[in-house]
Chains A and B, each alone.
Chain A
Amino acid sequence: MITWSKDRAEAAQRILGSYPERRSAVMPLLYVAMAEYGYVSEQAMRDVAELTGLTPVQVSSVASFYTMYKREEVGRYLVSVCTSVSCHLLGGDDVLHAVEAETGVPHGETGPDGTFSVEHVECIGACGGAPAVQVNYELIEGVTPEKAVELCQWLNATEPDPLLGDEMQALFGGQRSFDWGPSESTGSKGPVPAFGPYSTAGTDRLAGP
């Protein structure tokens, strides 16, 4: 029995309707389920299995392949520090260590009070503005270790909701890769990618637990 909120249950049906084969909908549905439960719980995978006609283990095979499907509860702010080549060369590792030290959360983990999760990630497509950091998938470029510390303090103190990439960029960012681009910030309401208008999942109503 699926007990999702009405909006998400409807979104799930919409998603299912856009694929000729039910099982093809497994990935967008996992995001919706993740939004519902805050992470991809066992129940979330069972739900998606029910919706797609797969077995739960087939769903978990997909869910465990991709690191953006969080299979454990994530803190309110998911800080992802890029340590791929460009960022690594420009000090991404130092940024990561600064975040770890400030939050007290080693990468790959969530702090006991549930405020922060810290992870290091592979290239997030912002090499031109390396080192890059994301908070709940909202991007900040040109981050120094000092600015990263401030960023964490700011998150802790002001508890922004929604979280806007442009705002964080202005406060804590440096050199941007595409400063001529339009503002892409849609505002994140939680550590689950919202995808806004671009996603098969539809709207940002899906965000946040």
Chain B
Amino acid sequence: MSERVTITVDGIPLEVDAGELLIKAAEDNGTYIPRFCWHPRMKPVGMCRMCLVEVEGPRGILLTTSCNMPVSDGMVVHTESETVKKAQEGILEFLLINHPLDCPVCDRGGECPLQDQTLSHGPGESRFVEEKRHFEKPIPISDLVLLDRERCILCARCTRFSDEVSGDPLIEFQSRGNNTQVLTFPDEPFASYFSGNTVQICPVGALTSKPYRFRARPWDLEKTESTCPHCSVGCSIEVHTSQNEVIRYQGVDNDDVNWGWLCDKGRYSFESVNSAERLDTPLIRNASGQLEPASWPDAMEAAATGLASIVEAHGGNSVAGIGGARGSNESAYAFGKFMRTIIGTNHLDAQLGDGLDPHFLVGSTPRGVINDLDTAKTIVLWGPDLKEELPVLYLRVRHAAQQGAKLIVIHPRRTGLDDRATFKVVYKPGEGPALLNKLVEGDPGLAEVRAAINEGPVVGLVGRTGLTEDPRLAEAVAAFLRELPKATLMPLARRSNVYGALDMGVSPRLLPGRVSSASESGKAALREHWGSLPDDFGRDTIGIIDGLADGHLKGLVMMGSDPVRDVPSGNRAAEALSRAEFVVAIDTFLNDSAAAADVVFPALGFTEQEGTVTNLEGRVQKVTQAAPGPGQARPDWSILEDLAHRMGGSIGATSVNVLFKEIVTVAPAYRGLTWVDLEFGEGRDGLVMPLEEGDQPIQYVAVDPGLAPTKAPLALHSARTLYDDGVHTRFGPSLERLVGAPMAYLHPDDAARLGIPDGGEVDVETVQGSARVQVGFDPSLAPGTVFVPFNQGIGQNLGSAVEVKLEVVS
């Protein structure tokens, strides 16, 4: 609890936190002071002068800006006096001197702080008759953002955001006086993963985004709160629709998660929702081997017969299920229940070979939440490059480090957080275990790092740094970190609702509600509800692919998954799919995997159905319906229910509500949750499950598996980038252009040793596959490392082997 002080605003005494900014203290207590440059999530600068108020002081009444004035005890403030009004009118008159007032053709018109505050606080008339300043009307400053300098009021929100918040200061004020303008460097566009936030916080229409420009007028938009589905951070968003079409997403300030920010992938992925490529009718493979449109009854019949005949001939456990991480918890629950009770198999997995042990992911103790970052003394990140994989978590870590937390980053390559890291340790893939040993044993070379780590509270962010890293390394790291003073752990996996799907038991090792599938009591309890539950051993995704490839498994059901693109050895997944006897796919797009299915069902996607999702903290939030889906698409769970029906059973999936109620009854860690708890407004921040301490069924204590380092002359590091070649980038015209070209990066010394020029061509070869790519130099790599971005055309063929060979082509 911080100290409280009493101030008087317009005659009303208020009790507020000491040191709070006056503008915020007033707003929290119902007095809105107009502003342009101040933003609650950024440092005040006092640039626009719109927030002038009068403050009584020992030297009389003072006109001062309230956005950079901390409250002090006894402060007497006037926000509506004649002087204040006159001052604010004056400021607005000045701001409008150069403003083009092209509101009728401005995207911002209707939701523009300048427009609104001119009406509420402005002079109503301008005395300025001279020529306004002129600039070329909007100039693109990146592939996504355009800048209209005539509209800019020089509040510096955009430039401060890029510098302070996102750490990529690629726009800045240029020149001075009447010539001051926001610009990029001539050949360096505003290529930030977070550029959309500047468009959202610009208080005028100076910054506009290509995907939204001229698409709608704000007053025509319907607004529905929801949760971004594109990674496991789970940012709060508002879905804006017009005439049943999704027009844009805006960030919503969720104090526990995203603080109003979104990454550009999340923000502009709405384009893929509207893609013409969306599946809108069921497909069946015809006699000549082509997928062709079919009616729902025919497709259902074909799928049910196909699956039933395999179950009959080879048993339920000859069929497997992959998916569930891209939809809601309710869909994932329905998927798990369908696979386990209707098909009768434990071969099901929501992870696609890129994750960690599911017990570790959802059951780690002590498990932390994002807000722990702000009270941490030390943050240790040994895991993915957050900027690429969990972008808004990157923003939160960055903020915490800027506020003074010590940040230690351990990764095989440069990461977005390096400039904020107190210590950065780079290592060659495969040598992680040796590095960890050194850290544990207090090797003199790492003494400083070790000393820094010992200061708690410590937040450990642990995950796989890349796809060639042994997933057990993260556990070894966690085993070490959890013993540090006041440590909490956040095991990281990025795939959208993967935590939710695992919580719903879509894993061979888990049952719904974070219960181990090896727990006899857990199984017994679930049998009570479900009637049946197979007892056999279950395979994970890689096991399923192996099983299909070698003929042990015959059938496959995919729900919102694309193993050909997503599994570290995509070519092997493709082979497995072609060997499978019968494959059913439920998806929003005919992705590379669904294209190999025998029956394909069109599913509703994000913004098209209600439900809940669970983020990387175990926080449950709501997703909502804002628009209808394309054509005949249906919710995943209802497709599964229909299929169950035709196979002579039921999973009881009659509505999202019914499923939700079943989940909170059946899934132990979700007990006690109600739909009302998650209503937006009060419940916007979602709830971290379980609600009561001690209700967590799995209490997973990471232990060091004692890994031996893998020695390879050349080691492969393969990791994801934000704009990889996934469906949401591929089917969104704006993001599609941002997908990187296939490349392999080498340390310049290695390249020199191997005689490879920058831009040369090589064949990259592992035991699992090979690819021909261009070479780039990356001095941030440890010598002996080859970095290949995953799923940019080729990465997915190289598998997860560490050892790699290079054959120079040119």
Q: Which of A54-62, A73-81, A84-92, A93-101 contacts B (4 or more CB under 8 A)?
A: A54-62
Within 8 A of A (CB), among B181-226: 183-188
Output the residue of A45, A53, A61, A64 with the most chain B CB within 10 A.
A61
> Which residue on B lies nearest to A66, using beta carbons?
B176
What 1/0 flags go to B155-172 for Cβ under 8 Å of A? 000000001000011111
Given A45-B185, A55-B185, A55-B188, A60 contacting B176 (CB threshold 8 A)? no
What 1/0 flags go to A33-59 for Cβ under 8 Å of B? 000000000100100000001111110
Is there contact, CB below 8 Å, between A64 and B185?
A: no
Question: Is A65 close to B, CB under 8 A?
Answer: yes
Is there contact, CB below 8 Å, between B188 and A57?
A: yes
Closest 3 CB pairs of A and B: A61-B172, A57-B185, A56-B185
Is there contact, CB below 8 Å, between A57 and B176?
A: no
- B contact residues around A56 at 8 Å (CB): 185, 188
> Which residue on A lies nearest to B184, using beta carbons?
A57
With A and B bound together, what is the CA distance between A197 and B172 in angstroms? 33
Chain A min CB distance to B336 (Å)? 48
Question: Is B32 close to A, CB under 8 A?
Answer: no
Chain A min CB distance to B301 (Å)? 61
Given A42-B186, A45-B185, A57 contacting B169 (CB threshold 8 A)? yes
With A and B bound together, what is the CA distance between A4 and B171 in angstroms? 27
With A and B bound together, what is the CA distance between A56 and B173 in angstroms? 12
Is there contact, CB below 8 Å, between A61 and B173?
A: yes
Of B175, B183, B419, which one neighbours A57 at CB under 8 angstroms? B183
Within 8 A of B (CB), among A6-57: 42, 45, 53-57
Question: Is B632 close to A, CB under 8 A?
Answer: no
Q: Label chain A's interface by main secondary structure.
A: helix
Output the residue of A53, A55, A56, A57 with the most chain B CB within 10 A.
A57
With A and B bound together, what is the CA distance between A65 and B180 in angstroms? 9
- A contact residues around B188 at 8 Å (CB): 55-57
- A contact residues around B173 at 8 Å (CB): 61
Given A55-B170, A57-B169, A57-B171, A65 contacting B185 (CB threshold 8 A)? no
Question: Is B81 close to A, CB under 8 A?
Answer: no
Chain B min CB distance to A37 (Å)? 15
Given A42-B186, A45-B185, A58 contacting B176 (CB threshold 8 A)? no
Of B169, B186, B187, which one neighbours A58 at CB under 8 angstroms? B169
With A and B bound together, what is the CA distance between A201 and B186 in angstroms? 27
With A and B bound together, what is the CA distance between A61 and B163 in angstroms? 13
> Which residue on A lies nearest to B187, using beta carbons?
A42
With A and B bound together, what is the CA distance between A56 and B183 in angstroms? 11
Is there contact, CB below 8 Å, between A58 and B172?
A: yes
What 1/0 flags go to B492-514 for Cβ under 8 Å of A? 00000000000000000000000
With A and B bound together, what is the CA distance between A183 and B176 in angstroms? 35
Question: Is B174 close to A, CB under 8 A?
Answer: yes
Is there contact, CB below 8 Å, between A64 and B170?
A: no
> Which residue on B lies nearest to A59, using beta carbons?
B185
With A and B bound together, what is the CA distance between A55 and B170 in angstroms? 7
> Which residue on A lies nearest to B173, using beta carbons?
A61
Is there contact, CB below 8 Å, between B170 and A60?
A: no
With A and B bound together, what is the CA distance between A121 and B187 in angstroms? 31
Chain B min CB distance to A8 (Å)? 22
What 1/0 flags go to B400-422 for Cβ under 8 Å of A? 00000000000000000001000
Given A55-B170, A57-B169, A58-B169, A64 contacting B175 (CB threshold 8 A)? yes
Of A54, A55, A61, which one neighbours B174 at CB under 8 angstroms? A61
> Which residue on A lies nearest to B180, using beta carbons?
A65
- A contact residues around B185 at 8 Å (CB): 42, 45, 55-57, 60
By a beta-carbon cutoff of 8 Å, the part of chain B in contact with chain A is 163, 168-176, 183-188, 419
With A and B bound together, what is the CA distance between A65 and B179 in angstroms? 10
Interface residues on A, range: 10 to 19
> Which residue on A lies nearest to B179, using beta carbons?
A64
With A and B bound together, what is the CA distance between A45 and B184 in angstroms? 13
Chain A min CB distance to B469 (Å)? 30
- A contact residues around B168 at 8 Å (CB): 55
- A contact residues around B183 at 8 Å (CB): 57
> Which residue on A lies nearest to B163, using beta carbons?
A58
With A and B bound together, what is the CA distance between A64 and B176 in angstroms? 7
Q: Can you list 17 A-B contacts (CB < 8 A)? A: A55-B168, A55-B170, A55-B188, A56-B185, A56-B188, A57-B171, A57-B172, A57-B183, A57-B184, A58-B169, A60-B172, A60-B174, A61-B174, A64-B174, A64-B175, A64-B176, A65-B176
With A and B bound together, what is the CA distance between A61 and B156 in angstroms? 13
With A and B bound together, what is the CA distance between A53 and B167 in angstroms? 12
> Which residue on B lies nearest to A57, using beta carbons?
B185
With A and B bound together, what is the CA distance between A42 and B186 in angstroms? 8
With A and B bound together, what is the CA distance between A56 and B175 in angstroms? 14
- B contact residues around A64 at 8 Å (CB): 174-176
> Which residue on A lies nearest to B181, using beta carbons?
A64
With A and B bound together, what is the CA distance between A108 and B35 in angstroms? 38
Of A42, A53, A57, which one neighbours B170 at CB under 8 angstroms? A57
Chain A min CB distance to B487 (Å)? 32
With A and B bound together, what is the CA distance between A173 and B168 in angstroms? 51
With A and B bound together, what is the CA distance between A54 and B188 in angstroms? 13
With A and B bound together, what is the CA distance between A19 and B209 in angstroms? 40
With A and B bound together, what is the CA distance between A20 and B726 in angstroms? 45
With A and B bound together, what is the CA distance between A151 and B26 in angstroms? 64
With A and B bound together, what is the CA distance between A93 and B494 in angstroms? 67
- B contact residues around A57 at 8 Å (CB): 169-172, 174, 183-185, 188
- A contact residues around B186 at 8 Å (CB): 42
- B contact residues around A53 at 8 Å (CB): 419
Chain B min CB distance to A1 (Å)? 12
- A contact residues around B176 at 8 Å (CB): 64-65
- A contact residues around B171 at 8 Å (CB): 57
- A contact residues around B175 at 8 Å (CB): 64-65
With A and B bound together, what is the CA distance between A28 and B172 in angstroms? 20
With A and B bound together, what is the CA distance between A42 and B185 in angstroms? 9
With A and B bound together, what is the CA distance between A29 and B173 in angstroms? 20
With A and B bound together, what is the CA distance between A60 and B187 in angstroms? 12
> Which residue on B lies nearest to A54, using beta carbons?
B169
Output the residue of B171, B173, B184, B187 with the most chain A CB within 10 A.
B173
Chain B min CB distance to A148 (Å)? 28
- A contact residues around B170 at 8 Å (CB): 55, 57
Chain B min CB distance to A151 (Å)? 30
Chain A min CB distance to B198 (Å)? 14
> Which residue on A lies nearest to B177, using beta carbons?
A65
With A and B bound together, what is the CA distance between A125 and B663 in angstroms? 79
Chain B min CB distance to A59 (Å)? 8
- B contact residues around A60 at 8 Å (CB): 172, 174, 185
With A and B bound together, what is the CA distance between A36 and B399 in angstroms? 38
With A and B bound together, what is the CA distance between A55 and B168 in angstroms? 8
With A and B bound together, what is the CA distance between A55 and B419 in angstroms? 13
Chain B min CB distance to A78 (Å)? 20
- B contact residues around A42 at 8 Å (CB): 185-187
Chain B min CB distance to A142 (Å)? 30
With A and B bound together, what is the CA distance between A45 and B185 in angstroms? 10
14 additional contacts (CB under 8 A) given A55-B170, A61-B174: A42-B186, A53-B419, A55-B169, A55-B172, A57-B169, A57-B171, A57-B183, A57-B184, A57-B188, A60-B172, A60-B174, A61-B173, A64-B174, A64-B176
With A and B bound together, what is the CA distance between A54 and B419 in angstroms? 11
With A and B bound together, what is the CA distance between A154 and B480 in angstroms? 78
With A and B bound together, what is the CA distance between A57 and B172 in angstroms? 6
With A and B bound together, what is the CA distance between A207 and B170 in angstroms? 31
With A and B bound together, what is the CA distance between A53 and B185 in angstroms? 15
- B contact residues around A45 at 8 Å (CB): 185
> Which residue on B lies nearest to A49, using beta carbons?
B185
> Which residue on B lies nearest to A42, using beta carbons?
B186
With A and B bound together, what is the CA distance between A60 and B174 in angstroms? 7
With A and B bound together, what is the CA distance between A42 and B168 in angstroms? 19
- A contact residues around B184 at 8 Å (CB): 57
Output the residue of A42, A45, A64 with the most chain B CB within 10 A.
A64
With A and B bound together, what is the CA distance between A204 and B806 in angstroms? 52
- B contact residues around A58 at 8 Å (CB): 163, 169, 172
